[in-house]
Amino acid sequence: MNTLSRNHTLAALFQSMANLLASRGANPYRIRAYRRAAEAILRLDEDIGTVAERGGLHTIPGIGDDLSRKIEEFLARGTFAAYEELKTPLPPEVQSWLTLPGFSEPLVHDLYFRWSIRTVDDLERLARSHLLRTIPGMTVSTNELLLAIARLRIDRSQEL
């Protein structure tokens, strides 16, 4: 892959990541970070791999630790896990979690792919542990969430 091609491919991945995040209503600062990184990579006069080899990723405007790791993963694999996870649709049984109070698609996506919460039982255990309350923007009480999970179980059993 030539210099421009690799830079363009990475910039396209970052732009696609930003678009996927935007479509899911993710944090606007996160979306903007991916867009800025894509623009900065397109402005480079040299191959992103060369910049990485000399340890210069942090010198690119808008590239911090998180995006540096994603760039290094891209250079090694041709993609990065966060993008692959984000473009993978949620299974239908997990889609129903979007009806729970305080839950959004980005949150459900993170619970499923990053935290490996796969079942309603897993979700209930997480809710009972009070860890969900540590997520920024989660304003639903544990009791309210547990009631909603119980209703979700009842709805599912009636569908069968």
75-99 per-position pLDDT tens digit: 999 999 889 888 888 888 898 898 8
pLDDT for residue 77: 94
Per-residue pLDDT at 40 exceeds 60: yes
Q: Which of 33-37, 89-93, 105-109, 127-131 has the lowest mean pLDDT?
A: 105-109
Mean pLDDT, residues 36-58? 95
Mean pLDDT, rounded, of the chain? 89
pLDDT for residue 135: 78
Which of 25-45 are b and which e, b meaning 16 or more Cβ less than 10 Å from the residue's Cβ?
ebeeeebebbbbbbebbeebe
pLDDT for residue 1: 52
- Rounded to whole angstroms, how far apart are CA atoms 128 and 142? 7
pLDDT for residue 46: 93
Which runs of consecutive H residues, i.e. helices, occur in 24-141? 28-42, 48-53, 65-77, 81-87, 92-95, 105-113, 120-128
pLDDT for residue 2: 53
pLDDT for residue 92: 86
